[in-house]
Every structure is written in C-alpha cells, then in structure tokens.
Amino acid sequence: MSKTTILTIVGARPQFIKAAAVSRAIRNSADFSEVMIHTGQHFDEMMSDVFFRELEIGRPALNLAIHGGTHGAMTGQMLAGIENCLIERKPDWVLVYGDTNSTLAGALAAAKLHIPVVHVEAGLRSFNRRMPEEVNRVLTDHVSALLFSPTVAGVRNLEAEGITRGVHHVGDVMYDAMLHAQKRSREMSTILADLGLEEDGFVLATVHRAENTDNPARLQAVIDAIATNAGGLPIVLPVHPRTRQAIARSGTKLGAIRAIDPVGYIDMVRLLDGAKLVLTDSGGLQKEAYFARRPCVTLRDETEWIETIEHGWNRLWTTPDWKPRSDIAEYGIGRAAQAVLDAIRAHRG
C-alpha cells in the first residue's frame, strides 16, 4: 500500500513547535509520509533554525524565503509559491497550523486545487477582526476539510459559523510538544544559571502582537504593566524581532526589565518551568504557562484561550481579580498529534 502524503506548510515560530509534535507522529507511523514546506516568514537562527535542530524536525524540502512586506504582498507571494509546489508534488492532504499568513496562503492554495486541507488549531476566535490572525483563522477554517480544535470552545465557535463536518476535538498539540521537551529541558538547559535567575524567583515576559508593538504609547503602557505586575522580582524578556525594532523606533523605556534575544524552545520551557509568573501577549505562552502550572497575566484586551481564564490560571491585564484554580481537561493528555493522524486515517477510510 502506498503511503498517504501530507504536505505541511510552516513559516512562523509557533508553527515549528506544533509541527514538531505532529511530524514525530508521522515519522513513527507506517502509512503516512510528510513533505514540509517553509514559507520563510520567520527566517533567522533564533526564530527558525534553532527549532528545527532542537526539536529534530526534518529539513524542509523547500524554503520559499518570503518575509517582510505588507500582509497582502506577503500572503500573495506565498500563495503563488505554495501553489507551484502543490501542482508539482500533488499531496493527498495539505496540513496547516494556527493563524499566520503562511496558514492562510497554504489553505487557500490547496483549496483552490481541490486538495483537502487539515487545519490544526481550528476554531479559535478572539472575535476581534482587526487582528490579522483572526482573519487568517476564520478564512482557513472555512476552506478546511478536517478541523482539529484544541478546545471545546473552538468546536462551539465553528458550530456558530455553520462548520460541523470534519470537526474534531483532539486536545492541544502544543501540550504534546511541551511534555516531550520538559525533561530534556531540565537536563540540557543552562539558561537559569546563565542569566543568574533563581527557581521560582523571576518573571518571564514576552510581547510581540502588532496591537501592542505598533503604537508607541501602547507599547510603553504594556512595558510599564509588566514592571508593575512583577512585584519587584527580576523580569526576563526574550525580545521578538518586531518588538526590538518597535522599541528602538519609539524609544520605549524598559527600566529594570532585562531584554534578551529570543531563546530556543528548550531554554523557553526551562524559563517557563522556573518562572513565578508569566506576562505575555503570546497565544502559545498563555497555555504553556498553564502546562507548567504557572499563573499568567495576558497583555491583551481579549484572549482565544478562555478556559485558562475560566479556570483561574490566567487573567487579562484589564481585570484585577483571580478566581480559584482548577485543572483544564480539554487540552488533552499529550496525545493530540496521534489523534490528528487517527482522524485523517479514518477519513481516508
């Protein structure tokens, strides 16, 4: 029997981490093979290469090297590049992750060629259409054949938009990825010692959303909120390239915040495990804070990960009160990647 071919599109940091979990499951299967295409959206050592190396993801078959420019220009170039690749390789499925321009371009190129699209991390909604990510997610979900939601809320969101076929609640592949990395990170990472940080004695922060970086007053307010919430503990801020540029451009004052270069995933998991508190506008980090059972303050006015709020592990920076904490069942048990493959197999059936 010939193998079912999955062509995976990745381009941005969180997608490398999600893909690591599913790619591993594909490699361990007898009946699937994968071709990975990197759009080039994130491209340097610390935003891309380090993840492929550390997480043992196979080298992409092709890197389209598309980055920078406006959303339309970037997405358009990706669409054309991915289309060529799909025509040439004729995969059985196209697999996309999350909500970036690479996600939308991959889904759209495949749908137009009648290649079924698998969307991992489907159904997430902020209900804020001014976020480029929200537009990408909504459109991708509407052209997907198989939709894997990490949460029950995601399934309900899809239902509300009339999408019920091909929808599966499988848990979160990021949980699979973190469970896989946690032990290795404790053994291998020296980041706490390198930065002179004590276990449970520092705050981990990240900021990269356009809504926070594009307006200098907002960026300063976010940075000030990090300092206020840290309660005097040292703060470590691995800085996303977009944020570094925005800080330089706007003259944002960091005060006592320690800005460092972005870190690899193994170091990031160690920082998460050791932090007293996480302050972030990242989607991934809000959940990873919960996976590490660290409280989180989200530096946004809304979140897609509402169960972290409902269960009291997370709060928006605009809401002062914390509810009691209870466990979140719906992110799964660390076998979401396997569930994705099982569902594709059943669909092929």
- Of the candidate spans 81-89, 220-228, 277-285, 316-324, the one that interacts with ligand UDP by CB under 6 A turns out to be 277-285
Binding of residue 282 to ligand UDP (CB under 6 A): yes
Q: Which is nearer to ligand UDP, 252 or 282 (CB)?
A: 282
Alpha-carbon span 75 to 240, nearest angstrom: 21
- Please report how close the Cβ of residue 82 comes to ligand UDP at its closest, in angstroms: 20
Judge contact between 263 and 269, C-beta under 8 A.
Answer: no
Binding of residue 304 to ligand UDP (CB under 6 A): no
Task: Say how far residue 271 (Cα) sits from the centre of its chain.
Answer: 17
- Please report how close the Cβ of residue 86 comes to ligand UDP at its closest, in angstroms: 25
Identify residues 101-130 at the interface with ligand UDP (CB under 6 A): none
Q: Return the SS3 of 95.
A: strand
Q: Which residue has the tokens 């409280």?
A: 295
Catalytic residue of the set 119, 208, 240, 347: 208
Residue in 93, 97, 202, 265 binding ligand UDP, rule: CB under 6 A? 265
Q: What x-and-dash track marks residues 184-223 binding ligand UDP by CB under 6 A?
A: ----------------------x-x---------------
Binding of residue 95 to ligand UDP (CB under 6 A): no
Pairing relationship of beta strands 62-63 and 167-169 according to DSSP bridges: unpaired
The one-letter code for the residue type at 153 is: A
Residue in 6, 7, 10, 17 binding ligand UDP, rule: CB under 6 A? 17
- Of the candidate spans 66-74, 104-112, 161-169, 282-290, the one that interacts with ligand UDP by CB under 6 A turns out to be 282-290
Judge contact between 41 and 16, C-beta under 8 A.
Answer: no
Strand order in the sheet with 235-238: 258-260, 235-238, 203-206, 277-280, 296-298, 314-316
Alpha-carbon span 44 to 48, nearest angstrom: 6
Q: Return the SS3 of 144.
A: coil
Residue in 91, 166, 238, 274 binding ligand UDP, rule: CB under 6 A? 238
Q: Decide if 168 is catalytic.
A: no
Q: Which residue has the tokens 């970037």?
A: 74
Binding of residue 284 to ligand UDP (CB under 6 A): yes
Alpha-carbon span 120 to 123, nearest angstrom: 9
Binding of residue 262 to ligand UDP (CB under 6 A): yes
Residue 177 neighbours by CB under 8 Å, 6+ apart: 17, 18, 20, 21, 55, 265
Q: Which is nearer to ligand UDP, 80 or 188 (CB)?
A: 188
- Please report how close the Cβ of residue 46 comes to ligand UDP at its closest, in angstroms: 7
- Of the candidate spans 19-27, 56-64, 81-89, 278-286, the one that interacts with ligand UDP by CB under 6 A turns out to be 278-286
Alpha-carbon span 149 to 171, nearest angstrom: 7
Binding of residue 41 to ligand UDP (CB under 6 A): no
Binding of residue 157 to ligand UDP (CB under 6 A): no
| DSSP single-letter state for residue 166 | T
Residues of the shown chain interacting with ligand UDP in the complex, contacts defined by CB under 6 A: 13-14, 17, 206, 208, 238, 262-263, 265, 268, 282-285, 288
Give catalytic residues, as residue numbers. 208
